[in-house]
Structures are given as structure tokens and as C-alpha cells.
Structure 1
Amino acid sequence: RSAATGGTARNHARMLKLMRLVLLMLTTASALNVQVLPATKKSAAAAPTSQPWLHQFGLAPRSWSVREGERYSSQDWLSNVLSIPRSLTLKRIKSHLLANLAVTAVVLALRAKGVQLTMPALPHQLTGSFLGLLLVFRTNVAYARFWEARLLWGQVKAAVRKMALTALTTMQPTEPQRAAHLLALLTAFPLALARVCTGSTEPLPPRIAALLPAGTPSEAAAVALCLQLQLCMAEFCAQLRAREGGSDSHAALVEEAADHIVGELLSCIGGCELLRRTPVPFMYSRHTSRALTTWCGTLPLVLVDSMGAAVL
């Protein structure tokens, strides 16, 4: 029996050393930075030609750009593994991991003093499916919010382009200064809307503040820009009616199109505010947090008998 116990202890020690070696290798490779950080798309395309083995083993520099619409590749598996120490998700759950590590250390310390704290694996087996459903729900909700935000941003891009085309075709030939002012408003709108999405209260950049009335708060900049767009188009349509000798046909069409585009921009602002101010239902978030904390916190009691110190 003592020989079997000694063999088990040696196996646990070997497993622990192996785990430490793997973690050391990952940390070292990440510290050396084998170019797994984002690079330009040009360098990513040139990597297979200059150093094919980097691309073959997933170490070639890659650029993850939403603007380019680049798809993730299965060849980047090694880069994804080596970048774990720099993962933003790992940083966010660091406190939770440290708490689980502390609980495990306490269990091992008590076990070393002869206090046997164990529990059967059946409760974790039964509750694992329930916890998986909660995590799947949270993942689906997060992806739905991301997809809705991308749709809203696509609508903003389409509306801004339509307004820019209207300015270039109807306003630029006769009033180039007014057209330049309108284009400046359109350029500033996405930046102002981004502040609405992030809830930023920092002062507006000078190029945006110069287009708005003095004292406009940062969170109201997007709506204020829509008002400036509406006023700019209204003044242009008034000048257009005067040049056409009172004829309202062309001016009415331009004004109607501008009103519709500004309405789309205002709807997008409302949608972005809705996403920012409507988080995941609190009870779902709390249930998931409680279940995950309890499940992971008691898991060392299940594994300590079979894994020993390797449970760390």
C-alpha cells in the first residue's frame, strides 16, 4: 500500500512538473513574441512567400480587421495558443482565477495536515449540463448584441454615403462651400456616434466641437450634428427654390430625401443608445456568475483525491 501511495505521489509530481513546463513554454514563446500580434494585411500576405514554415505552423503575422472583413483561419491555431498570456479575456477573469487558485491551495494545505476535504463527482456531473446551458445563453445574447450593433453601424455608413452623394450631385456644383461644410458634418457624425456607444464624457475633439454650438455636451454631439445637417439642407433647399424662380419640384425632392436620411441617422442613434443602456438581464448574469463560481470553487474537492497537488 505504501509503495502504491509513493507511486501515486511520484505520478502527481511528474504531472505537476509537466504542467509547469507547458506553462513556461507558452509564457516564453509569448514573451519572445513570434509575431503573433496584429500586423498589416500586406505583411500577412507576404509571410507565406518569405517564410513558408511560419504560415504552415500558424505563426505568420495576421491582421484582424473588421473593416477588411477578413475571416479567421484555422491555420492560426498556434498563434491563438501562444497569445493566451496577453488575452483580454484572461485579464478580465484574472480575479476569478486567483480566487479559485486560493481555494485550491487551502484544500491542499488542509489535506497536507490530514484534513480530508472531498466530495463525490456526481453533483458536478449533474450540474455541468445546467451550467453549460447558462453559458450558451450568455454567448448567444452577446453575439446577438454584437450583430445588432454591426447592423446599426452598416445603416449609418449607408445613410452617410447617401447624404454625401446628395451633397456632391446637387450642392457641389453651385455651392461648394456649403457642400464642404455638409461633408465635414458627415465625417464627424460617426466619431460622435462612437462616443454615444462608449458613453464617453471627455471633451469633443476640436474639429467636431467647431461644427457644433458652443457648450454642446459630448453625449449629445451626434443628435446636434443631425440638427446641423437638417439646417444645412433646409438652407440649401431654400436657395434652390429661389434660383428656380419659386418652383418647388426639385427642392422638394431634395428636402424629402434629406429628411429621410437624417431620420435614419436618428434611428441609428436611438438603437445604439438602446444597446448601451440595456445590459443583459441582471438575474441571468447573477445566476451564471453564482453557478460558475460555486461549480469551479468546489471542483478541487472532487479532483484532489485523484490528482493531488496537480489540481493546481
Structure 2
Amino acid sequence: MIVRPRPPLWQLFFILRGSVVPRIWPHFTVVFLLSGLIVWVHKAMPNVVPVFDGAPFTLLGIALSVFLAFRNNAAYERWWEARKVWGQLIQLCRTLARQTLLLSERPGPEGTVQRRDLLTLAIAFSHALVPHLRDGANSDKANRFLSPPEREFFESRDRSPSAILQLISQRLAVLHVAGTLSDIQFQLLDATIDQMEGVLAGCERIRNTPVPFGYTLLLHRTAYLFCFLLPLGYADMLGWATPFATALIAYTFFGLDALGDELEEPFGNEPNDLPIAAIADMIELNLRAALGETGLPPAPKPVNYLLT
């Protein structure tokens, strides 16, 4: 995710990081060159290249803008829902750290060890969630917080974060049977784990249910056809200004389309996607601090305005 202050006006037109220009410049360059070719042929041989009234293109452009706005709103809603779900995970992990204080208050060091084991598994869950949602993410971070038997169980379940929640539930069940946790305390902690399972299910719902392909395909086709045919409607009216006008319009439509593609997959690796790896690192720092560890590394910061 791009994290930077609003740039001044003189920098606004030269920023590439976080912009969709690297993705779409070949498209609006083709529109620019095609427009120039159409204007040149029209002026040299007016009967070869027909031109049309620009009014229908205006109406089509308005309709296309509305459809693009609907799609981008749907994509942004997915992005924002994903951010809220990860924000809920931060809250739940902090709640778990607070609720497990009842273990460390028990006489002897055993309760402190039991609390550390539970929170360490919560850290492993947050790290395991990142490669579960993002292709190519580091899949070894979770292993650092699992014992060999836990790691073997985790691997046997295809490295699913749900396996780590099952390990947490098993530990809570053992503590409850042993009388370390009362019925109310067990239900309180189990409810928090149940909500963490809900976070996992919410992320999987977003990850595995994209915007309907037919809707996206319709917008892609319409945007390309509109931008490629647009010079025919303005070659006679604008003359040699046509390539610049059509390239600007193509930049807007192709840019909105590309931005919608990025926001549609909030867990991806694009600059405008969510920094879920950084959020998982933040959860780790929060829980290690709750365990009383000192000398922790600093919180994740953006590198060249990019936070991943």
C-alpha cells in the first residue's frame, strides 16, 4: 500500500510509484498513435476514412463512466472490507493477550508458560494467514513460532491457518479439563478464537469470490472499443488536437479500469493492495510486547512510500 503525504502540484504529474501509468501506458500510446494516423489519412484522403458525429461518443462515454464507477465502487468495497477484517484481527489478538492475563496471575511459572504458548500460536496464525491469501508471500514466518509437533500438524493440514486455531482450541480444552480455566473463562477465550475463525472465513470469502467475470469482461471490451473508435468522432472537429484529447480520455478510462483490477484483489502484490504482511508483523510486535519482551524491532515502515 502506498503511504505518503499528498505531493505538491509540481510533483503530481511525475509520480509513477502507486500510479497505474506503468500498466496502461502502452494502451493510451496506441490510442494516441492510432488517432494521429486517422487524422493524417482523413486530411490526405477524406473519402477513405469516414468520420462520424461526436454526439453518440459523448453519450457512450457518459454511460461507460457510470459503469466504471459502479465496478470501482464494488472493488473498493472489497478492499475496504478486507481492511476492516484485518483490523478486527488486530483487535482480537490484543483482546486475547488481555484475556490470557488470568493465566499469568496463577501461582507459579506454569501459567505464564501457558499464556506464552497461546499468544505464540496467535502470532503464528497471523503470519500463516499472509501466504494463505497472497501468492508468493513468505511462508516460513509461521514456522518460527511452532514447535516441531505443531509444525508437523500444520504441514499435514496444507498449512491452513485454521489448523493453528485448532491447536489453540486444543490447548484451551486441556486447560479447561484440568480445571485451570473455569467454564466462564473457557467460554470467553473460546469466543475470541471463534471470532478469529470468522476473520479467516471473511478473508477467504474475499479471496475466492471475485467480481463476476462477465461484468468485468463487458467493461474491458467497451472501454477498448470506445477508445479505439473515439478518433473517428473528433478527427474532423479537433484536427491535430485529436490524438491528445483521445489519449487523455483513454488514460482516464484505462486507468480507472486498471485501478479497479488492483482494488478487486486486496491481498495481492500490487502497490495499492493491503499491507497484510506489515499488519501481521505489527500483531507479532503487539503480542510479544504483551508477553513482556523488550528490545523489539521497530514497527514496519514504508520503503520508498511502499508498505507491503
Say whether the fold is shared (TM-score over 0.5): yes
Matched, 1:146 2:85: no
Larger radius of gyration: 1
Higher relative contact order (CA 8 A, sep 6+): 2
Determine if the alignment matches structure 1 residue 158 to structure 2 residue 91.
yes
Long gaps (5+) in structure 2: 244-308
Aligned-residue identity in percent: 24
Structural mapping, 1:1-312, within 5 Å: 63-64=3-4, 76=7, 78=9, 81-111=12-42, 113-114=44-45, 115-171=48-104, 173=106, 174-200=110-136, 203-205=139-141, 206-208=143-145, 210=147, 212-214=150-152, 216=155, 220-239=159-178, 241=179, 251-312=182-243
Residues 92 and 195 of structure 2 are in contact (CA less than 8 Å); yes or no, is this contact kept in structure 1? yes
TM-score (norm 1): 0.65
Q: Deviations over 1:138-179 (max 9, x none)?
A: 121012112211221122122211211122232464422222
TM-score, reference length from structure 2: 0.66
Query: For residues 102 and 208 of structure 1, what CA distance do their matches in structure 2 show?
Result: 56
The answer on whether the counterparts of 2:89 and 2:199 sit within 8 Å (CA) in structure 1 is yes
1 CA distance for matches of 2:103 and 2:116?
13
What amino acid does structure 2 have at the position aligned with 1:207?
R
- Given that residues 121 and 146 in structure 2 are in contact (C-alpha distance below 8 angstroms), is that contact kept between their aligned partners in structure 1? no
The 3-state SS of whatever aligns with 1:280 is coil
**For residues 85 and 132 of structure 1, what CA distance do their matches in structure 2 show?**
24
Regions of 4+ moved over 4 Å: 199-202, 208-211
Distance 1:172 1:302, change over 3 A: farther
Distance 1:198 1:80, change over 3 A: farther
Residues in 1 aligned to 2:135 and 2:122: alpha-carbon distance in whole angstroms:
20
- Could you tell me whether the CA contact under 8 Å between 1:199 and 1:219 is conserved in 2? no
SS in 2 for 1:216: helix
Conserved 8 A contact 2:157-2:163: no
Structure 1 CA distance for aligned equivalents of residues 61 and 242 of structure 2: 19
Structure 1: gaps (5+ residues): 1-37, 39-62, 65-71, 244-249
| Structure 2 CA distance for aligned equivalents of residues 221 and 78 of structure 1 | 47
How many equivalent pairs are there? 234
